């Protein structure tokens, strides 16, 4: 069954910056997609929520002094939380576009205090201008997908996360029955996304 990848919208700066039941994960089907980069300031409706894993960093050292990765606490996220604050639940840092300057990837959700709000996953970049505020330059996962992101990592320039979701509105929110392994790579002016889908069925 087909699965559609989340739309990713980098800015020009980034381009130049170049009831509970037992569940069984079944066989996987892999979908590949490339999303064309678009100009302009990104303004997504994004996020997927839930618990996310700890921060991880890519281990590709660059010669000379290392630039600091963008601070996720200093960013205003384009996430509509109906007056509630946002919460960054996981981050990963690494050079995604090969320019020697690290980006930060952040899993963000509304801080509802209860339940499992969906996550959005954003890419953050830091302008070279001294004192510039880091900002969102791409959206890897939109909140409208209603997925929970876990195990967020960057390794060798590839962003990886596990996404938990639901096959229908009837599935209890505490018991997601769909799992996807998502990978995003910046290549040829595009983020290329790979999704491996595992549908969990009750027995």
pLDDT tens, the chain, 203 aa long = 444 444 454 544 454 444 333 333 333 333 444 443 332 222 233 333 333 333 333 344 444 557 889 999 999 999 999 999 999 999 999 999 998 999 999 999 999 888 789 999 999 999 888 888 999 999 999 999 999 999 999 999 999 999 999 999 888 888 899 999 999 999 888 788 999 986 544 32
| Closest by CA position to 105, among listed 183, 4, 198 | 183
At residue 10, the pLDDT reads: 57
At residue 79, the pLDDT reads: 94
Distances (CA, A) of 96 to 50, 73, 114, 156, 198: 25, 20, 34, 8, 27
User: Residue 12 has what DSSP assignment?
Assistant: H
Cα–Cα distance measured from residue 194 to residue 146, given in angstroms and rounded to the nearest whole number: 18
Expressed in percent and rounded to 5, the helix, strand and coil fractions of the chain are 5, 45, 50
**Helix, strand or coil for residue 88?**
strand
pTM of the model: 0.70
């Amino acid at each position: 069954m087909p699965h559609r990848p989340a739309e990713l919208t980098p800015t020009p700066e980034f381009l130049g910056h170049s009831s509970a039941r037992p569940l069984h994960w079944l066989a996987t089907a892999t979908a590949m997609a490339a999303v064309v980069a678009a100009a302009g300031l990104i303004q997504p409706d994004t996020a997927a929520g839930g618990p996310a894993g700890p921060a991880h960093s890519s281990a590709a050292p660059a010669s000379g002094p290392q630039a600091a990765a963008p601070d996720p606490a200093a960013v205003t996220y384009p996430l509509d939380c109906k007056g509630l604050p946002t919460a960054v639940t996981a981050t990963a840092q690494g050079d995604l576009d090969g320019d020697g300057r690290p980006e930060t990837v952040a899993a963000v959700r509304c801080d509802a205090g209860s339940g499992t709000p969906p996550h959005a996953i954003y890419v953050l970049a830091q302008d070279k201008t001294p004192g510039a505020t880091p900002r969102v330059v791409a959206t890897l996962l939109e909140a409208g997908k209603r997925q929970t992101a876990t195990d967020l990592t960057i390794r060798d320039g590839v962003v990886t996360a596990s996404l938990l979701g639901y096959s229908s509105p009837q599935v209890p929110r505490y018991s997601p029955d769909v799992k996807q392994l998502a990978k995003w790579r910046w290549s040829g002016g595009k983020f290329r996304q790979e999704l491996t889908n595992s549908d969990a069925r009750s027995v």
